[in-house]
Amino acid sequence: MDTSEQATKATTTYNPSRLLDIVIDRLQLKNDAALARTLGVPAPMISKIRHRRLPIGASLLISMHEETGWSIRELRDLMGDRRQKFRISLVHFKPK
């Protein structure tokens, strides 16, 4: 099944675990720890994403894109992110 078929089957609800599972399957990895190593992130980050305590950030999406060859749009569709526009949150920026 290609990514467009998987995205079509995906529901419209946001579910980052779905994306993680599909990427693990695509890369033929054993578990979240192997995914973390492959993407070059700490293993707790994957756990926090699964438990929805941390969103999937742009840099992680880019790493997934580089490893899978799927477009960012396909990756976002797989996790149920259907937004067309993005807002930058100023909460993460510290004033000088």
CATH of the domain at 37: 1.10.260
Q: What Cα–Cα distance (Å) separates residue 48 from each residue in 2, 4, 44, 69, 71?
A: 27, 27, 6, 24, 23
Q: Which residues contact 38 (CB under 8 A, 6 or more apart)?
A: 27, 29, 67
pLDDT per position as a tens digit, 22-80? 999 999 999 999 999 999 999 999 999 999 999 999 899 999 999 999 999 999 999 98
Q: Which of 32, 37, 30, 87 is CA-nearest to residue 67? A: 37
Question: Which residue range forms the structural domain that includes residue 73?
Answer: 3-92
Q: Which residues contact 33 (CB under 8 A, 6 or more apart)?
A: 43, 46
Whether 85 has a pLDDT exceeding 60, the answer reads no
Q: How many domains does the chain divide into?
A: 1
For residues 21 and 18, what is the distance between their CA atoms, to the nearest angstrom? Answer: 5
The three-class DSSP label of residue 92 is helix
